[in-house]
Amino acid sequence: MRRWVGEQRQAEKSIGFVPTMGYLHAGHLSLAHRARAENDRVVMSIFVNPTQFGAGEDYAVYPRDLDRDAALARSAGVDVLFAPAAAVIYPAGHSTYVAVEGLTEPLCGRSRPTHFRGVTTVVTILFNLVRPHRAYFGQKDAQQAIVIRRLVRDLAFDLEVVVCPIVREPDGLAMSSRNVFLRPEERQAALVLSRSLAGAQALIAAGERDAGKVLAFVRDAIGREALVRPDYIEMVDTAALAPVGAIAGEILLAVAAYVGKTRLIDNLLLEVDNI
């Protein structure tokens, strides 16, 4: 990987990087297509990162199919698929971690307190190996994208973080590798997440500026679905991920919920004027 990157940079080729945990879907491929359009070379990594899974989470059963992923990546214009073993990323005796404080504590950080330390550590390692000019992430993982932008700023990485829109199924469900775990009835129940966000967006578009009222609407809508157990439903600013009372400026309405045993996330990012 390092040798190839060195050759590309010496030839003054720009490198776009799409880090993933594999089991690719159209959301991942949209990142690859964007990277293909904006760079001379495209690298995609596939690495199910053990350090971002907590005790009792789904690391052991997380879906994996490297042959399938390789074919999909090739079809999306990826030049290099980097699928390192865990021992390459975390060699024997590994004891160094990267933590972004503050932004990693609310939202997903409450129920997954070690998750973002694992994310920021592996992303730092991958950035050092791939040395991209641009790195591509999905808006579905909104908190992750905000955390990584802060990481890149604070550690002076010489690269641009590009965040791409959520890709949804035709019925509105946000695409996720974990959707494969949903049983048919759970798959139907999971639609309440995107539908409640769409309803909240309509309320805001109609002039509602009280965050409490919009959150109450979303909580009520999700609460009516027996197979869905909310983890959090929050509206925050995008600078500090602090809760907002009045809806103004750039705001993030984020939800996480267990549908059966599967934890799903979704969000709505809006720019709202003060009028």
Q: Answer for the pair 27, 166: CB distance below 8 angstroms, yes or no.
A: yes
Known catalytic membership, residue 115: no
Distance CA 255, CA 193 (A): 7
Determine how β-strand 134-138 pairs with β-strand 15-20.
Answer: parallel
Task: Identify the three-state secondary structure at position 126.
Answer: helix
> CA quadruple 5, 124, 76, 85: dihedral positive or negative?
positive
Quickly list DSSP for 6-30.
Answer: HHHHHTT--EEEEEE-SS--HHHHH
SS3 (DSSP) at 270 = strand
Residues whose CB falls within 8 Å of the CB of residue 128, separated by 6 or more in sequence, listed in order: none
Q: Which residues are catalytic?
A: 28
